[in-house]
Structure 1
Amino acid sequence: MGGRASVLSIAAWQRPGLHSVFFEHCVDGIAITDERGYVIESNASLASITGLRADALPGWNMFRFCALDQGRAHYRTIRTALATAGIWRGEASLTQAGHHTRCYPVRINTVRDEQGCTVMLIWTLADETYLAERQRELIHLAHHDPLTGLPNRRALMALLACLLDRPRRTIPGAVLYLDLDKFKQVNDALGHKVGDDLLRAIAVRLSARIRRADMVARLGGDEFVIVLERIADEKDAGVVAAHVIEAFRAPFELAEGKVVKIGVSVGVAILPAERIDAELLLDRADRAMYTAKGGRGACLLDVLGCRSDANLSDAPAGVTALHGDRGAEGGGRQALALASEPRFEPGR
């Protein structure tokens, strides 16, 4: 089977036109020149790299264009390598469209006829801009949720590890663990597409409610985490929790005219003065969130839980439940009162 596949692959490669398809779609810049280095044919990628039109490249001397003819000793070295080994690798200093100069990895291959005479040179310039962009894309994908574009668990844990390494007494912070109420019912009733649209809308709304220095991450499913890098005290974390709950007061208007109203439960863990593992801190916030879902409202001294459709009880000092009225649809209303005026300003 493998031998048959190889034969088919070779036959496919030898089909007329396949060479030109590869030539034009290769991300690296390719030029075919005569033995002296004058361009006979080039691909679109080389035109992009050089900043010249594709029809302007024929007739250009690649040795001169890539500054490989500067210095006789260097030029002779290249020529010797091409004559003996049939290949030369190095760097080309390329002036793009008469403006700035950049260095590109370059490879020159010699093509000989049956008598061993050089008939052409094949130049390949690696497009490092493309490679760098692809690397950035891969790094982004590794650290972001593909559905919402928010940082993912890996990015979240990296940030928490960094924050937990800094002096806690001088720069406090907090972690808010969010779990959507009855999201599964919405997903089951209206379909996964609506569920995905809802998650994206929630991500946008949450991102608008925090400062640029803070992070909203999606752990997966219907769980989100907000990291507050710098807060004055625990009351600030309560203010942010109030902002988050307020963000879910208004319904979410989705595609095709669908309107969805959903609640959220929030657990808050304050970064403690003592050393703590990032996983343990996240677990504290998670447990506080489940306490909030149960309606009790608080968990331990450094953790606050609150939910959007139930009263707060046993809230930490400075945070009080004002009301928990329920409407005809059974959706709860809740507000937070703080002992001092809020100092948290979203978007700053």
Structure 2
Amino acid sequence: MTGEVVWRRLIGRGLLLAVVGLAASVLLLMAWSSMRWDAALRESVVPLDRLAQSRYHASEAQVFTERLLRGDRSVSVELVLASLQRARHAGRSIIEPETALAGMSLGRTPSEKLMRSVGEYLAALDQVTAEVETRVRLTAAEGLSLRQIHAPLQQASLAVERVLLAELAHRRATLREIDMLNTLLVAALALLLILLRYRADVLETTAKREQERSDQRIRLHARALEGTRDGVMVTDAAERILSVNRAFLNITGYTEDALIGASSHVLRSGHHDAAFYRAMRAALVRDGHWQGEVWCRLRNGEMCPQWVSVSAVDDDDGRTSHYVAVFTDMSQVHQFEARVEHLAQYDPLTDLPNRLLIGHRLAHSIEAARRDGTGVAVLFIDLDRFKHINDALGHDCGDLLLTEVARRLQGRIRREDTLGRYGADEFVLLIEQVHDASEAATVARDILAMFNEPFALSNGEVLYAKASIGISVYPGDGETAAELLRDADAAMDRAKRDGRSIFRYYSEDLTRAANTRLALESRLRRALDEGGFRMHYQPLVCLRTGRILGAEALVRLAVTNGPPVGPGEFIPVMEDNGMIVELGRWVQREVCRQGKAWLDAGYQFDLLAVNLSPEEVRRGGVVEQLRDVLAETGFPPERFEIEITESGLMQRGEDAVEFMHQLKSLGIRLAIDDFGTGYSSLSYLKRFPVNKLKIDRSFIMALPQDQSDAQLTTTIIELARNLGLRVLAEGVETAEQQRFLAARGCDVYQGYLCSPPVPPERFEQAFLASPRAAATG
């Protein structure tokens, strides 16, 4: 409430109290004046009336005396004296209030002057009475007339009359003054009433004008609120929504009916924690206002950034009664900021990372590689003779070609790699998690092959373009982003000098190694397509009886059109490029086919074991694939054993146990390969439904001389026995190793002591027993 309003209210209340007090005073004075007039009339009329009665009786006595003296027999002395006595009684009643006369009495004590004049009058009456009595009774008295006898009495009565009239005049003067005061008070009251009426009219007029102005302001504010692009929300102290404007409804997507009466918490998106809202509330209590960015949830569930200004509104007692919040949509601001930031880091033509972002990402990749012990490859790709295209067809056509090249390159890279535009016709590809420098060559070859197809531009032109690629690898070629980019650029220049449309490593040794790997990959692909792989079998021997229990199937690359390549060299390459999955499927089918053929021919064996690559485990689909192979070949699943390394199982993480049970449900046997070289988690091992543990050859090679290996091997055998598992030792090459393992309770061995892996024909001849031989064995 403003001071002006308070002052007006105080004035109004003061005037009202003045009018009430003045009116009460006037009424009291008028009542008192009326009483005074009544008393004055009574106190004046009664004495005058009693004086008149006294005179009358005195005159009557005078008349009776004269008649008596003339000898009128109808008048007696007693009648004269009675009249005089009545005159005295009436005269005394003038000054004696208790003396009633004709039903009238005095209301106050006579004044001293009146008492004195009445006393003189009574004395004159007494003298007249005495003289009259003497004159009447003593007729000898002469020379004194009755008029002379009554003269003092008349003078005395006139004196009393004058005193009474003087007192009456004084009272009338006093009462006229009181009446004048009443008149003035009535006039003042009338004036105050006129003033109050005038003030009421003025206040009413002013109130109407202020109400009109207030209504106009409210209408203007309402139009402003409805017309503004900012949302406005009003809540009570409990944060229940009381009012919103049209912009608020447009921003949030809610209807007014859905919001009015609801809690403002309906807008909370979960983007901010409880501490954020506690700080907002504390600012409102402390400062009366708060502003900041708030992510609000719209009706459709989306989150939208809003700049919110909240103010607390207090009531007349100073307590917060309402909150007013103004919402400014920040979506476009965020989009603009994001666009500016995007333009600062991305090429506007191709929308690929620009030179700045490439440098940042490469630095981050180097840090991650340094932490993980991996490598990073940088491919610097430069279009060959791009300047000729610009000169011949124009820069617009050149831009279209660059856009199409970027699109095609993006379709050939992994999600975790980074492709950026480094310059005019230069692109940079960052490859993370590089374990072998030759992996970059594989990518480079695919990119060069991509350029064999023509580029169809949106303007209808069809262009052929080629590119040269330079490769640098962390950590061999540099430790920083600037060094790797510089070296990749130098390698690209070398590729252009060496004939274009090729790739070159910054290091010549890496170039040769990459070429060798590419040649091997090509050879492996041809082998898969043309049947260039062969299966060899290494016997599994019972340590207790010496009986051949079966074999482990091992894949070999046929020696055709190239030098011999062992599985230790080609298996990692096939795991890197994914060909291992196709090879594994072929191996499983071929081993099951061969095993079924041996069984059909009458040969007996307990099992055939096949390795499962960690990459096959990681990619999935193994269970379904094995089920199909077993069903297709008809090979008994109880004679088929899958060997999985500990590291391969960990590829499935928490699903490893479930994966093993799914395999076991096929009816096959399971073995943990290379036990002791991986995670060796006993908690997992107890939960795996495995039949066998294989001791890695690295623990067998130095037996029995190496005490550490001997102790570890003994521990593994005892662990397996306690878990109810069989134990196989691989890589056994000497009789000493065989005796040591047999003495420790190992069940089965394989190794060159019995035989190296051999083709199926030789294994069949040397190690498979006929049904009859197996029965006698």
TM-score by length of 1: 0.63
Q: Which runs of 5+ in 2 are unaligned?
A: 1-223, 268-279, 313-322, 525-572, 579-618, 620-777
Structure of larger gyration radius = 2
1:42 matched to 2:223? The reply is no
Residue from 395, 398, 405 that aligns with 1:192? 395
Does the aligned pair in 1 maintain the 2:234–2:324 contact within 8 Å?
yes
Q: Following the alignment from structure 1 to structure 2, what is the Cα–Cα distance between the partners of residues 260 and 101?
A: 46
Residue from 30, 38, 41 that aligns with 2:231? 30
Residue from 457, 461, 466 that aligns with 1:254? 457
Does the aligned pair in 2 maintain the 1:31–1:40 contact within 8 Å?
yes
1:339 matched to 2:520? The reply is yes
Match of 2:472 in 1: 269
Q: CA deviation at 1:30?
A: 2.2
Q: How does 1:166-181 map to 2 (within 5 A)?
A: 166-167=369-370, 170-181=373-384
Amino acid aligned to 1:42: R
Residue from 309, 317, 320 that aligns with 2:513? 317
Amino acid aligned to 1:339: L
Q: Following the alignment from structure 1 to structure 2, what is the Cα–Cα distance between the partners of residues 303 and 99?
A: 58
Note closer, same or farther for the CA distance 1:164–1:280 as it changes in structure 2 (3 Å cut): same
Match of 1:127 in 2: 329
Match of 1:222 in 2: 425
* SS in structure 2 of the partner of residue 178 of structure 1: strand
Q: How does 1:77-156 map to 2 (within 5 A)?
A: 89=291, 96-97=298-299, 105-108=307-310, 123-127=325-329, 131-156=333-358
* SS in structure 2 of the partner of residue 149 of structure 1: coil
Q: Following the alignment from structure 2 to structure 1, what is the Cα–Cα distance between the partners of residues 335 and 435?
A: 39
* SS in structure 2 of the partner of residue 230 of structure 1: strand
Q: CA deviation at 1:239?
A: 1.1
Does the aligned pair in 2 maintain the 1:88–1:108 contact within 8 Å?
yes
Amino acid aligned to 2:481: A
Percent identity of equivalent pairs: 30
Q: CA deviation at 1:237?
A: 1.4
Q: CA deviation at 1:108?
A: 4.7
Q: Following the alignment from structure 2 to structure 1, what is the Cα–Cα distance between the partners of residues 430 and 258?
A: 57
Please list the CA deviations of residues 193-251 of structure 1 after superposition, one character each: whole Å capped at 9, or x if unmatched.
Answer: 22111111101111111111211111121000111112331221111111111010011
Q: CA deviation at 1:337?
A: 4.5
Residue from 468, 480, 489 that aligns with 1:286? 489
Higher strand share: 1
Q: Following the alignment from structure 1 to structure 2, what is the Cα–Cα distance between the partners of residues 98 and 241?
A: 47
Q: Following the alignment from structure 2 to structure 1, what is the Cα–Cα distance between the partners of residues 346 and 285?
A: 48
Q: CA deviation at 1:344?
A: 3.9
Q: Following the alignment from structure 2 to structure 1, what is the Cα–Cα distance between the partners of residues 304 and 424?
A: 45
Q: Following the alignment from structure 1 to structure 2, what is the Cα–Cα distance between the partners of residues 228 and 95?
A: 39
Amino acid aligned to 1:217: G
Match of 2:717 in 1: none
Note closer, same or farther for the CA distance 1:288–1:39 as it changes in structure 2 (3 Å cut): same
1:240 matched to 2:443? The reply is yes
TM-score by length of 2: 0.31
Q: Following the alignment from structure 1 to structure 2, what is the Cα–Cα distance between the partners of residues 292 and 183?
A: 16
Of the structure 1 ranges 228-237 and 171-180, higher mean CA displacement relative to structure 2 is found in 228-237
Q: CA deviation at 1:291?
A: 0.7
Q: Following the alignment from structure 1 to structure 2, what is the Cα–Cα distance between the partners of residues 197 and 274?
A: 34
Q: Following the alignment from structure 1 to structure 2, what is the Cα–Cα distance between the partners of residues 100 and 190?
A: 47
Higher helix share: 2
Note closer, same or farther for the CA distance 1:259–1:101 as it changes in structure 2 (3 Å cut): closer
Kindly tell me the number of residue pairs found equivalent between the two proteins: 277
* SS in structure 2 of the partner of residue 203 of structure 1: helix
Does the aligned pair in 1 maintain the 2:472–2:505 contact within 8 Å?
no
The higher relative CO (CA closer than 8 Å, separation ≥ 6) is in 1
